[in-house]
Amino acid sequence: MIITDENIIPKMINELKYKNAVYNHTVAAEGDIFRTVFFATDVNFFINNFRSISTADDYNKWKVDVLSNSNGLEDLFYHNLVNKLNDIKILNDEEFYGLFNNCKIDICSMTEYFNVLPVTNSDFNMGIWYNSSNLIDDRNINIIVKENDNIIDNIPMKITNSQFVYRLFNFNGETFTFELHENDKLKKTIIVDNKYYTNLSKNGELIIK
């Protein structure tokens, strides 16, 4: 993010005279979130309300403790502070994006997530989740799913703005390969075998509502 308006930082600092933090609240695919790409906070308020995270286990425990809908950082921030909303200056999307009229690039540029997650509330036990938070984009994404080297699903997407997709599968000991391709180039590969599946919960959780 490139900020060319020199008044933005002083505006945010001024808000801290009246509240302990300033966040943009919005609703994403997983539910309520606080954007973390840009926010302001009193240092002591942050220290008093956020725990120290040193390991993946710490992070996953944080998700469980605050009842977050996902392991996404913005989801975690919101649920971590949900009981402190009266102490926070909350900006809606119009107010937030209004701060960045002179921003050179999309403030959510290249915010992307792709992973395999365990599934609850479903007859399926495993799923893939892909989302891109870019408000402005122009990419071709293709997700190829293989079971024992045989292609069983092919998910092409034209990414032009904020989008997400998920698919559900049943793992019964087979080897699954999930490939994320961007503009015909392989970007990420996830191989799920018995060992990987046993530790799948470390990635988070996909809850079907």
Alpha helices in the chain, H assignment, sequence order: 8-15, 43-49, 56-65, 73-80, 93-98, 194-198
pLDDT computed for residue 151 by the predictor: 96
List the domain boundaries for the chain. 8-98, 112-207
pLDDT at 110 exceeding the cut of 60: no
pLDDT at 63 exceeding the cut of 60: yes
Judged on CB neighbours under 10 Å (0-12, 13-18, 19+), 26 is: middle
Both tokens assigned to 149: 């080297």
pLDDT computed for residue 186 by the predictor: 92
Number of neighbouring beta carbons within 10 Å of residue 36: 15
The CA distances from residue 57 to 52, 63, 67, 196, in Å, are 12, 10, 15, 16
Q: Residue 55: which residues within 8 A CB-CB, separation 6 or more?
A: none
Q: Is the pTM of this model over 0.75?
A: no
What is the per-residue pLDDT across 153-184, written as a single tens digit (0 to 9) for each? 999 999 888 889 999 999 999 999 999 998 88
- Overall CATH class of domain 112-207: mainly beta
pLDDT bucket at 2, cuts 50 / 70 / 90: low
Q: What is the mean pLDDT of residues 98-119?
A: 73
Q: What is the mean pLDDT of residues 112-141?
A: 87
Q: Please give the backbone phi and psi of residue 5, each rounded to the nearest 5 degrees, phi first.
A: -95, 110
